[in-house]
């Protein structure tokens, strides 16, 4: 496989308590051109992540001591926005939703296929690169609301909502294609950085739900419509924001 992310090796922090799985994953990601640091519990994960310099974290939820969701909360609370992919147990729907709501970027369900897992981690890395090269911009929606990509905010009057980087990309992508349906696979490729958008995942839907709930507070409850069988469509009126205003 071609290394496609950057010249230097991407650094992955792997958090998994089951030794055979951990060792297998270390081997897998090293063979895929990653530098891998592996730890077996949540506390070590928090400490290791604090050293920084990781391009992505592969985080098991079921861990002894501090579980994966608590690790995630720790990272986000100290403003560490390293991309996180959760490893979740089959049927653990609640964990998945909680994880995505608490700032995870994506998840895979055990047992997972190794190709899918590698594809998803690469997706996180690509997304990070796209995000870093995004131009700064502001747009006005429905005359009264201002979407500021640089600040990760949408505001209307005194009401200001803070978006996650992912929500910001999602809103930006939909806004840029206002009034036409955007399929989920197009969002997976462009917002999540997947090469193959056909991967089955609820990631897009959960993020859209969260984004909608936030936008409600600035009068944007109906900005993102679900188009049955086709994806999502942005319905707000988008115009360029006045310069410097």
Q: Does 95 interact with Ca ion (rule: CB under 5 A)?
A: no
**Residue nearer to Ca ion on the CB measure, 60 or 105:** 60
- With CB atoms as reference, the residue minimizing the distance to Ca ion is 62
Tell me, by CB under 5 A, how many residues bind Ca ion: 3
Burial zone of 88 (CB within 10 Å; 0-12 exposed, 13-18 middle, 19+ buried): buried
From the CB of 68, what's the least distance to Ca ion, in Å? Answer: 8
- Pick the stretch among 16-24, 36-44, 67-75, 192-200 that binds Ca ion (CB under 5 A): 16-24
**Residue nearer to Ca ion on the CB measure, 59 or 224:** 59
Under a CB-based contact definition with an 8 Å cutoff, are residues 74 and 81 in contact? Answer: no
**Residue nearer to Ca ion on the CB measure, 37 or 60:** 60
Q: Which of 13, 22, 25, 60 binds Ca ion (CB under 5 A)?
A: 60
- Pick the stretch among 59-67, 128-136, 201-209, 232-240 that binds Ca ion (CB under 5 A): 59-67
**Residue nearer to Ca ion on the CB measure, 90 or 228:** 90
- Pick the stretch among 62-70, 72-80, 103-111, 127-135 that binds Ca ion (CB under 5 A): 62-70
Under a CB-based contact definition with an 8 Å cutoff, are residues 119 and 132 in contact? Answer: no
From the CB of 89, what's the least distance to Ca ion, in Å? Answer: 8
Closest by CA position to 50, among listed 79, 25, 22: 79
- Pick the stretch among 24-32, 60-68, 91-99, 159-167 that binds Ca ion (CB under 5 A): 60-68
H helical segments located in 191-245: 203-215
Residues β-bridged to residue 153: 148, 162
HEC states along 10-73?
A: CEEEEECCCHHHHHHHHHHHHHCCCEEEEECCHHHHHHHHHCCCCCEEEEECCCCCCCHHHHHH
The Cα 229–Cα 210 span in angstroms is: 20
**Residue nearer to Ca ion on the CB measure, 14 or 146:** 14
List residues binding Ca ion (CB under 5 A).
Answer: 17, 60, 62
């Amino acid at each position: 496989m071609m290394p496609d992310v950057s010249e230097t090796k991407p650094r992955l922090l792997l958090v998994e308590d089951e030794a055979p799985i951990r060792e297998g994953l270390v081997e897998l990601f090293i063979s895929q051109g990653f530098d891998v640091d592996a730890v077996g519990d949540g506390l070590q994960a928090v400490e290791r992540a604090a050293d920084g310099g990781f391009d992505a974290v592969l985080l098991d939820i079921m861990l002894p001591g501090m579980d994966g969701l608590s690790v995630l909360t720790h990272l986000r609370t100290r403003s560490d926005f390293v991309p996180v992919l959760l490893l979740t147990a089959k049927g653990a729907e609640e964990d998945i939703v909680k994880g995505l709501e608490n700032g995870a970027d994506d998840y895979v369900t055990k047992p997972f296929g190794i190709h899918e897992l590698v594809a998803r981690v690469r997706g996180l890395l690509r997304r990070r690169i796209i995000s870093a090269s995004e131009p700064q911009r502001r747009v006005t929606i429905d005359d009264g609301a201002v979407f500021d990509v640089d600040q990760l905010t949408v505001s209307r009057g005194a009401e200001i909502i803070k978006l996650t980087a992912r929500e910001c990309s999602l809103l930006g992508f939909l806004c840029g294609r206002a009034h036409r349906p955007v399929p989920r696979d197009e969002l997976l490729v462009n917002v999540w950085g997947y090469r193959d958008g056909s991967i089955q995942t609820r990631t897009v839907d959960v993020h859209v739900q969260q984004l909608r709930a936030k936008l409600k507070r600035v009068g944007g409850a109906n900005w993102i419509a679900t188009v049955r069988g086709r994806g999502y469509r942005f319905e707000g009126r988008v115009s360029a924001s006045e310069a410097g205003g």
